[in-house]
């Protein structure tokens, strides 16, 4: 049985998109195809004018769990993608870049800490740094903060927004949270049940930078209600 059908999306440079739908509708499959981790049966994924045929250094991906290697320090974990792709010497020369990323996300001073010494939020911040270490053009995010408590998750979402704005990065987020999709995104794609297809793409016209206070705005509530209505109907409209 097909996981996806007739998915046609365009993410422009610097835009933040998210996709939301019921469990099993193909959201994670779509992300794996976009990352080059799973080939599509038909169709093509293009990035900067070239087809995505497999994993690429200009695509960064972040998962639900930080998946840091427990025997490596925070700095060593962040440098791991560079070490794998370019060798240990290249990772040494990139130490300054990794340290700057750690400062960007508030991890300065934890370079030599091991994963067991980090909180869940700190581990996810380290995972963000690892994703950004190769300076990717596209960030693919598979529910990266779903395992965190609500307060930490809100903080990490604001951090993610800040990083994307500072780096003019393009991002694509898989989420089950309507509020998270609205607060972060320029466009929210609502998917139907399996086989997944995008039944509606909703542009979120809220000013940036977004703040958590915006959840009390009538406009925010209108977007949430619209998306909730589509999902309650099985996203078949």
* DSSP string for residues in 209-228: S--GGGGGSHHHHHHHHHHH
pLDDT value, residue 58: 86
Residue 76 has pLDDT above 60, yes or no: yes
Query: In the predicted model, what is the mean pLDDT of residues 141-153?
Result: 85
In Å, how far are 19, 65, 186 from 208, measured between CA atoms?
A: 20, 28, 10
Fold of 1-58+137-237: Rossmann fold (3.40.50)
Over residues 18-62, the pLDDT tens digits come to 999 887 777 888 888 898 988 888 888 888 889 898 888 889 888
Say what the alpha-carbon torsion angle 65, 53, 84, 78 is, to the nearest 10 degrees: -40
Any bridge partners for residue 50, and if so which? Answer: 47
Q: Is 59 left (phi over 0), alpha (psi -120 to 50) or beta?
A: beta
The residue behind tokens 């972060």 is: 184
Q: Tell me what the pLDDT averaged over the chain comes to.
A: 87
Give the number of other Cβ atoms within 10 Å of residue 199's Cβ. 17
- Asked if residues 132 and 60 have their Cβ atoms less than 8 Å apart, the reply is yes
Instruction: Say what angle helices 74-86 and 120-132 make with each other, to 10 degrees.
Output: 30
Say whether 194 sits in a helix, a strand or coil: coil
pLDDT value, residue 234: 62
Which residues, 6+ apart, have CB-to-CB distance to 65 below 8 Å? Answer: 147
What are residue 189's phi and psi, to 5 degrees?
A: -100, 125
Q: Per mean pLDDT, which range of 15-24, 78-87, 180-189, 225-234 is the poorest?
A: 78-87
Tokens linked to 116: 């067991």
Per-domain residue ranges for the chain?
Answer: 1-58+137-237, 67-135
pLDDT value, residue 217: 95
Residue 237 has pLDDT above 50, yes or no: no
- Asked if residues 214 and 220 have their Cβ atoms less than 8 Å apart, the reply is yes
Say what the alpha-carbon torsion angle 212, 237, 30, 25 is, to the nearest 10 degrees: 100
The structure's pTM equals 0.87
- Asked if residues 99 and 75 have their Cβ atoms less than 8 Å apart, the reply is yes
């Amino acid at each position: 049985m097909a996981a996806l059908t007739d998915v046609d999306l365009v993410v422009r440079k610097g835009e933040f998109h998210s996709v939301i739908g019921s469990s099993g509708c193909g959201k994670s499959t779509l992300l794996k195809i976009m990352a080059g981790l799973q080939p599509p049966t038909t169709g093509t994924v293009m990035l900067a004018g070239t087809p995505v045929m497999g994993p690429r250094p200009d695509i960064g991906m972040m998962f639900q769990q930080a998946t840091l290697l427990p025997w490596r320090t925070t700095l060593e974990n962040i440098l791991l993608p560079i070490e794998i792709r370019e060798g240990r010497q290249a990772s040494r020369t990139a130490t300054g870049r990794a340290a700057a990323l750690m400062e960007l996300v508030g991890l300065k001073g934890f370079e030599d800490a091991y994963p067991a010494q980090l909180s869940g939020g700190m581990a996810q911040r380290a995972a963000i740094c690892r994703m950004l270490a190769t300076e990717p053009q596209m960030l693919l995010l598979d529910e990266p903060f779903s395992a965190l408590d609500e307060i930490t998750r809100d903080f990490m979402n604001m951090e993610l927004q800040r990083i994307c704005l500072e780096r003019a990065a393009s991002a694509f987020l898989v989420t089950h949270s309507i509020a998270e999709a609205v607060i972060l995104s320029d466009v929210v794609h609502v998917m139907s049940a399996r086989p997944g297809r995008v039944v509606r793409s909703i542009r979120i016209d809220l000013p940036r930078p977004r703040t958590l206070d915006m959840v009390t705005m009538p406009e925010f509530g209108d977007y949430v209600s619209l998306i909730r209505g589509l999902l309650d109907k099985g996203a078949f409209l």
